[in-house]
Chains A and B, each alone.
Chain A
Amino acid sequence: QTVVTQEPSLTVSPGGTVTLTCASSTGAVTSGYYPNWFQQKPGQAPRALIYSTSYKHSGTPARFSGSLLGGKAALTLSDVQPEDEAEYYCLLYYGGSYVFGTGTKVTVL
């Protein structure tokens, strides 16, 4: 069974920068996995942020950026705002089906 692993939790100061990663148990993540990133706040449905590695959905703030980094998909939050505190999930494509990552809880302190 395919497992997609993310950091369980990260803490960042307001105005700071933090990078979340998304690793696949099958090997290096490439653009062919079409990495997507979602933000979820408590009690809410997830919100789509990034698709196809680095493309922003309309409404995604410019401080969010996606990339590939060292064989993983990455989401970088720059100039972090208090409202960025949330759970973040990646989603990878596996030839017809998709797998979500384990999620990263980002705390802004």
Chain B
Amino acid sequence: QITLKESGPTLVKPTQTLTLTCTFSGFSLSTRGVGVDWIRQPPGKALEWLALIYWDDNKRYSPSLRSRLTITKDTSKNQVVLTMTNMDPLDTATYFCAYSKMATLLNYWGQGALVTVSS
């Protein structure tokens, strides 16, 4: 059974760096074809794809946020970490991580973590 769970601060101040952790079970991020994505959703708004890390440590980022995002993995801990720098109130959103394998994208999702950016 594949499960994912996001964790991190619920409140960050403007200009701070956000660090979110996705802890998963039921699969290994060293298995060929497997990836973990990050997606966010501002309150009442659409989903936005942020970043993806593959089993072979290849990484992909949203072009519009690339300069602010870093995605890393710790295969031994079954974790993927997303950092986002220079946080702004417009970054207030629920942040999700999700599992992908080959063409079957985002097949399993975490419950999401609400992050509010406010001074």
A1 within 8 A of B: yes
- CB nearest to B108 among chain A residues: A48
A1 touches B64 (CB 8 A): yes
A61 within 8 A of B: no
How long is the Cα–Cα vector from A97 to B105 in the complex, in angstroms?
A: 12
- A interface residue numbers (CB < 8 A to B): 1, 34, 36, 38, 40, 45-48, 51-52, 55, 57, 89, 91, 96-103
B104 touches A45 (CB 8 A): no
B61 within 8 A of A: yes
- B interface residue numbers (CB < 8 A to A): 37, 39, 46-49, 52, 60-64, 96, 103-107, 109-112
Tally the A-B contacts, defined by beta carbons under 8 Å.
55
Question: Closest CB of chain A to B32's CB: distance in Å?
Answer: 18
Question: Closest CB of chain B to A103's CB: distance in Å?
Answer: 5
Question: Closest CB of chain A to B11's CB: distance in Å?
Answer: 21
How long is the Cα–Cα vector from A100 to B62 in the complex, in angstroms?
A: 11
Question: Closest CB of chain B to A85's CB: distance in Å?
Answer: 17
B103 touches A51 (CB 8 A): yes
- Of the A-B pairs whose beta carbons lie under 8 Å apart in the complex, a sample of 18, sorted by A's number, is A1-B64, A34-B103, A40-B47, A46-B109, A47-B109, A48-B105, A48-B106, A52-B103, A57-B104, A89-B46, A89-B47, A91-B106, A96-B60, A100-B39, A100-B46, A100-B47, A100-B48, A101-B46
